[in-house]
Homo-oligomer: A and B are copies of this chain.
Protein backbone atom coordinates (compact mmCIF):
# COMPACT_ATOMS: atom_id res chain seq x y z
CA UNK A 1 0.00 0.00 0.00
CA UNK A 2 1.28 3.44 -0.94
CA UNK A 3 0.42 6.53 1.08
CA UNK A 4 1.35 10.07 0.10
CA UNK A 5 1.56 12.71 2.81
CA UNK A 6 1.09 16.13 1.24
CA UNK A 7 -0.01 19.64 2.13
CA UNK A 8 -3.72 20.12 2.56
CA UNK A 9 -5.41 23.52 2.64
CA UNK A 10 -8.90 24.88 3.04
CA UNK A 11 -11.58 23.15 0.90
CA UNK A 12 -9.23 20.24 0.30
CA UNK A 13 -6.75 22.25 -1.76
CA UNK A 14 -3.61 20.13 -2.25
CA UNK A 15 -1.19 22.95 -2.78
CA UNK A 16 2.34 21.57 -2.49
CA UNK A 17 4.01 21.81 -5.86
CA UNK A 18 6.54 19.18 -4.76
CA UNK A 19 3.78 16.74 -3.89
CA UNK A 20 2.33 17.24 -7.35
CA UNK A 21 5.58 15.99 -8.84
CA UNK A 22 5.08 12.85 -6.79
CA UNK A 23 1.40 12.52 -7.67
CA UNK A 24 2.15 12.76 -11.37
CA UNK A 25 5.02 10.30 -11.01
CA UNK A 26 2.79 7.79 -9.22
CA UNK A 27 0.16 8.12 -11.95
CA UNK A 28 2.85 7.75 -14.62
CA UNK A 29 3.84 4.47 -12.99
CA UNK A 30 0.19 3.41 -12.82
CA UNK A 31 0.43 2.94 -9.06
CA UNK A 32 -2.56 3.23 -6.74
CA UNK A 33 -2.11 5.40 -3.69
CA UNK A 34 -4.00 7.15 -0.96
CA UNK A 35 -3.23 10.70 0.14
CA UNK A 36 -2.95 12.12 3.65
CA UNK A 37 -3.39 15.88 3.78
CA UNK A 38 -1.23 17.60 6.39
CA UNK A 39 -1.25 21.22 7.53
CA UNK A 40 1.89 23.29 6.97
CA UNK A 41 2.32 23.65 10.72
CA UNK A 42 1.50 20.07 11.66
CA UNK A 43 5.02 18.67 11.86
CA UNK A 44 3.87 15.91 14.21
CA UNK A 45 1.92 14.21 11.42
CA UNK A 46 5.10 13.57 9.44
CA UNK A 47 7.56 13.16 12.31
CA UNK A 48 7.77 9.43 11.48
CA UNK A 49 9.60 10.40 8.27
CA UNK A 50 12.48 11.97 10.17
CA UNK A 51 11.89 15.26 8.33
CA UNK A 52 9.68 18.34 8.45
CA UNK A 53 8.54 18.67 4.88
CA UNK A 54 6.16 16.92 2.53
CA UNK A 55 5.91 15.00 0.31
CA UNK A 56 6.53 11.87 2.30
CA UNK A 57 5.85 8.53 0.68
CA UNK A 58 5.12 5.42 2.67
CA UNK A 59 5.49 2.47 0.33
CA UNK A 60 4.88 -0.67 2.36
CA UNK A 61 7.59 -0.64 4.99
CA UNK A 62 9.70 1.98 3.23
CA UNK A 63 9.43 5.68 4.03
CA UNK A 64 10.91 8.18 1.57
CA UNK A 65 10.91 11.96 1.78
CA UNK A 66 11.86 14.64 -0.76
CA UNK A 67 10.14 14.56 -4.13
CA UNK A 68 13.33 13.79 -6.07
CA UNK A 69 14.22 10.92 -3.74
CA UNK A 70 10.70 9.62 -4.13
CA UNK A 71 11.00 9.69 -7.92
CA UNK A 72 14.25 7.72 -7.69
CA UNK A 73 12.61 5.27 -5.31
CA UNK A 74 9.70 4.71 -7.69
CA UNK A 75 11.96 4.22 -10.69
CA UNK A 76 14.15 1.78 -8.78
CA UNK A 77 11.30 -0.12 -7.13
CA UNK A 78 9.02 -0.38 -10.16
CA UNK A 79 11.38 -0.81 -13.11
CA UNK A 80 8.80 -2.72 -15.14
CA UNK A 81 6.33 0.15 -15.05
CA UNK A 82 6.67 3.07 -17.53
CA UNK A 83 9.99 4.83 -16.92
CA UNK A 84 10.04 8.29 -15.38
CA UNK A 85 13.51 9.07 -16.70
CA UNK A 86 14.01 7.01 -19.85
CA UNK A 87 17.37 5.65 -18.73
CA UNK A 88 20.46 6.89 -16.86
CA UNK A 89 21.10 9.91 -19.11
CA UNK A 90 17.46 10.93 -18.82
CA UNK A 91 17.69 10.56 -15.05
CA UNK A 92 20.66 12.93 -14.95
CA UNK A 93 18.90 15.44 -17.20
CA UNK A 94 15.65 15.19 -15.22
CA UNK A 95 17.61 16.22 -12.14
CA UNK A 96 18.75 19.26 -14.10
CA UNK A 97 15.19 20.15 -15.12
CA UNK A 98 14.02 19.58 -11.54
CA UNK A 99 16.74 21.91 -10.24
CA UNK A 100 16.09 24.52 -12.91
CA UNK A 101 12.40 24.50 -11.99
CA UNK A 102 13.22 24.94 -8.29
CA UNK A 103 15.78 27.69 -8.71
CA UNK A 104 14.12 29.75 -11.38
CA UNK A 105 10.40 28.98 -11.66
CA UNK A 106 9.49 28.16 -8.07
CA UNK A 107 11.65 31.08 -6.97
CA UNK A 108 9.71 33.36 -9.35
CA UNK A 109 6.29 31.81 -8.74
CA UNK A 110 6.28 32.18 -4.98
CA UNK A 111 6.38 35.99 -4.84
CA UNK A 112 3.94 36.14 -7.76
CA UNK A 113 1.17 33.97 -6.32
CA UNK A 114 1.82 33.25 -2.66
CA UNK A 115 -0.20 36.33 -1.60
CA UNK A 116 -3.27 34.67 -3.16
CA UNK A 117 -2.39 31.35 -1.56
CA UNK A 118 -2.93 32.91 1.84
CA UNK A 119 -6.66 32.59 1.21
CA UNK A 120 -6.56 28.83 0.62
CA UNK A 121 -4.22 27.58 3.34
CA UNK A 122 -5.82 26.02 6.38
CA UNK A 123 -6.93 28.55 8.99
CA UNK A 124 -4.40 27.02 11.39
CA UNK A 125 -1.58 27.81 8.93
CA UNK A 126 -2.48 31.37 8.05
CA UNK A 127 -0.19 33.27 10.45
CA UNK A 128 2.69 30.93 9.73
CA UNK A 129 2.24 31.30 5.98
CA UNK A 130 2.01 35.08 6.26
CA UNK A 131 5.41 34.93 7.96
CA UNK A 132 6.78 32.73 5.17
CA UNK A 133 5.72 35.25 2.56
CA UNK A 134 7.30 38.08 4.52
CA UNK A 135 10.49 36.11 4.96
CA UNK A 136 10.88 35.18 1.28
CA UNK A 137 9.69 38.37 -0.37
CA UNK A 138 10.64 40.94 2.24
CA UNK A 139 7.12 42.29 1.82
CA UNK A 140 3.77 41.95 3.53
CA UNK A 141 1.37 39.77 1.53
CA UNK A 142 -0.60 42.91 0.67
CA UNK A 143 2.49 44.69 -0.66
CA UNK A 144 3.54 41.57 -2.58
CA UNK A 145 0.04 41.38 -4.09
CA UNK A 146 0.40 44.95 -5.34
CA UNK A 147 3.46 43.86 -7.31
CA UNK A 148 1.77 40.76 -8.71
CA UNK A 149 1.59 41.80 -12.39
CA UNK A 150 5.33 42.46 -12.54
CA UNK A 151 6.09 39.26 -10.64
CA UNK A 152 3.93 37.21 -13.04
CA UNK A 153 5.71 38.80 -15.97
CA UNK A 154 9.05 37.72 -14.49
CA UNK A 155 7.74 34.19 -13.93
CA UNK A 156 6.50 33.86 -17.51
CA UNK A 157 9.82 35.18 -18.79
CA UNK A 158 11.76 32.71 -16.63
CA UNK A 159 9.83 29.89 -18.30
CA UNK A 160 11.08 30.96 -21.72
CA UNK A 161 13.51 28.04 -22.37
CA UNK A 162 10.73 25.52 -21.69
CA UNK A 163 8.31 27.48 -23.86
CA UNK A 164 10.76 27.47 -26.76
CA UNK A 165 11.27 23.71 -26.52
CA UNK A 166 7.57 22.98 -26.22
CA UNK A 167 7.00 24.79 -29.50
CA UNK A 168 9.17 22.12 -31.09
CA UNK A 169 8.08 18.94 -29.33
CA UNK A 170 5.02 17.91 -27.29
CA UNK A 171 6.88 17.15 -24.03
CA UNK A 172 10.18 18.07 -22.43
CA UNK A 173 10.79 14.32 -22.69
CA UNK A 174 10.24 14.47 -26.46
CA UNK A 175 7.35 12.35 -27.73
CA UNK A 176 6.30 11.16 -24.27
CA UNK A 177 6.18 12.86 -20.84
CA UNK A 178 8.93 12.29 -18.31
CA UNK A 179 9.64 13.40 -14.78
CA UNK A 180 11.02 16.69 -16.09
CA UNK A 181 7.57 17.48 -17.45
CA UNK A 182 6.07 16.76 -14.05
CA UNK A 183 8.56 19.00 -12.27
CA UNK A 184 7.68 21.83 -14.65
CA UNK A 185 3.96 21.10 -14.47
CA UNK A 186 4.01 21.25 -10.69
CA UNK A 187 4.47 25.02 -10.83
CA UNK A 188 1.45 25.59 -13.05
CA UNK A 189 -0.62 23.11 -11.08
CA UNK A 190 0.27 24.94 -7.86
CA UNK A 191 -0.72 28.19 -9.60
CA UNK A 192 -4.24 27.04 -10.49
CA UNK A 193 -4.76 25.64 -7.00
CA UNK A 194 -3.64 28.70 -5.05
CA UNK A 195 -4.64 31.66 -7.22
CA UNK A 196 -7.60 32.68 -9.38
CA UNK A 197 -5.24 34.59 -11.70
CA UNK A 198 -4.94 32.70 -14.97
CA UNK A 199 -1.23 32.46 -15.38
CA UNK A 200 -0.83 31.25 -18.97
CA UNK A 201 -2.40 33.05 -21.94
CA UNK A 202 -4.30 30.62 -24.19
CA UNK A 203 -1.85 31.13 -27.04
CA UNK A 204 1.21 30.31 -24.90
CA UNK A 205 2.75 26.99 -25.99
CA UNK A 206 3.02 26.22 -22.29
CA UNK A 207 -0.78 26.38 -22.02
CA UNK A 208 -1.22 23.68 -24.68
CA UNK A 209 1.43 21.53 -23.02
CA UNK A 210 -0.08 22.02 -19.56
CA UNK A 211 -3.45 21.03 -21.01
CA UNK A 212 -1.82 17.78 -22.11
CA UNK A 213 -0.48 17.24 -18.59
CA UNK A 214 -3.93 17.81 -17.09
CA UNK A 215 -5.44 15.34 -19.56
CA UNK A 216 -3.07 12.51 -18.57
CA UNK A 217 -4.45 9.50 -16.75
CA UNK A 218 -8.07 10.38 -17.40
CA UNK A 219 -7.65 13.94 -16.16
CA UNK A 220 -6.68 13.08 -12.59
CA UNK A 221 -4.61 16.24 -12.10
CA UNK A 222 -7.34 18.41 -13.60
CA UNK A 223 -9.90 17.00 -11.18
CA UNK A 224 -8.28 18.38 -8.03
CA UNK A 225 -9.80 21.37 -6.22
CA UNK A 226 -8.53 24.46 -8.08
CA UNK A 227 -9.62 27.90 -9.32
CA UNK A 228 -9.80 27.03 -13.03
Contacts and interface: CB of A to CB of B under 8 A. Distances in A.
A88 to B, nearest CB: 5
A161 B88 contact: no
Contacts of A95: 165, 168-169, 174
What secondary structure prevails in chain A residues at the interface with B? helix
Nearest to A103: B161
A92 B100 CA distance: 16
Interface residue tally of chain A, by bracket? 20 to 34
A34 interface: no
A8 interface: no
Contacts of A85: 89
A216 interface: no
A164 interface: yes
A161 B101 CA distance: 9
Nearest to A175: B88
Contacts of A195: none
Interface of A: 83, 85-97, 99-100, 103-104, 160-162, 164-165, 168-169, 171-176, 178, 180
20 contacts: A86-B86, A86-B88, A87-B89, A88-B173, A88-B174, A88-B176, A89-B173, A89-B176, A91-B174, A92-B169, A92-B173, A93-B180, A95-B174, A96-B162, A96-B165, A96-B172, A99-B165, A100-B161, A103-B160, A103-B161
